[in-house]
Amino acid sequence: MRYLAKISYDGSKFYGFQKLNNHKTVQEELEKALTSINKSIVLVKGAGRTDRGVHAFNQGVSFELNINIDTSHLKEAINSLIDKSIYVNEVYEMDSEFHARFDSLEKTYQYVINTGEYDPIDNDYIYNYGYNLNIKKMKKASKYLVGPHSYKAFTSGDRANYNSIIYSIKIQKKKDIVLITFRGKSFYRYMIRNMVGALILVGSGKQEPIIIKEMLETEKKKYNYITSPASGLYLVDVKY
């Protein structure tokens, strides 16, 4: 039986989602728990390979079991065995061809920036930026990123292509906290963290919004933006 599980996790406790030798990862912890339940090896596929330190509220994972177990009992069994920095929110039965990454229709991520005083308690869960940002200019700049584009200027590493679609970007400020919410088809390695870095460059007054358009069109990182820290990034949801 093929299943889809929606899971949340504290990314600060793991070396990312994808399994690595000699490092604790979300995928490995899930596979250990599911293998124990199944009594034979289970492989887990994730909707997104979140980096070390990136968090999730509703990541999608798919896997196959040899045993017959209903979804409510499977959820309970996984949560009783899994590392306590991971929690299974829901489990669904799927058809035999379902794949958590290839069948995803839309992903939502959120980035959290603290523009106020340094917060040591939440340092693993926000970007402690510590300076005011011009939200109006950031919103103007973000509009260039929406739509179908090549995001090569904002993606780390080599790919066959860098094309994707961002459906919307919403920027809000609540007291000292800035929330940037991205909704799109696919996001590549460091893509959101690089886009946030470029938006911060605009919001800080060091560059104008038009630089986003220039980088999209030239497919080159023409301005020295930072890759924002993983601690502020959350995979909010995956739609199927």
Amino acid at 106: E
108 three-state secondary structure: strand
Check 51, 83, 119, 122 and give the catalytic one: 51
How does strand 45-46 pair with strand 177-184?
Answer: unpaired
Distance of CA 141 to the CA centre of its chain: 21
Chain Cα centroid distance, residue 200: 19
CB 217 within 8 A of CB 145: no
Tell me how crowded residue 17 is: count the other CB atoms within 10 A of its CB: 27
51 as an active site residue: the answer is yes
Rounded Cα distance between 109 and 164, Å, is: 15
Residues forming the active site: 51
